[in-house]
Amino acid sequence: MIVQDSVGRDWTIRFQYDDPFTLAHEGAVPKLNRRRVTTCRVFLTSEEGRTPIAELIGSTRCSRRDQFEKSKGRKIALTAALSSLSKDMRSDLWAAYWKKIGRR
C-alpha cells in the first residue's frame, strides 16, 4: 500500500506473514521456534521513479499461546518499523495508514 505524508512524499508499506509450519517443513525454522511472524517494510520512494530512498523494517512474533491475528501483528510490526522516526512523522504516517485502510 502507498500512503502520502503531509509533505506529499510517497511511502510504501508492505506486510509479510511467515507461517512457521511451512518454513519448518522447508528446514528453515527449528522445531522449538515455530511461531508466526509478521514483518513490516516501509520504503520512502523517490519522486522520479519508484527507487527506494530509505527502508525501515519492523517485525513481531506471535506467542505460541496466542491466536494469530493479522491486524494486531500489522500494528505491532508497523510501530516497530516507524520507531526511529520523529513523533510528528510517525503520527503523520499512522494517520495516512488509518485513512487508507478505512479506519478513524
At which residue does the C-alpha cell 513490516 appear?
40
33 pLDDT above the threshold of 70:
no
Burial class (CB in 10 A: 0-12, 13-18, 19+), 104: exposed
Residue ranges of domains in the chain: 2-98
What local confidence, expressed as pLDDT, does residue 49 receive? 62
Alpha carbon distance 99, 104 (integer Å): 7
Strand (E) positions, the chain? 2-4, 10-18, 37-45, 52-61
29 pLDDT above the threshold of 60:
no
Q: Which pTM does this prediction carry?
A: 0.78
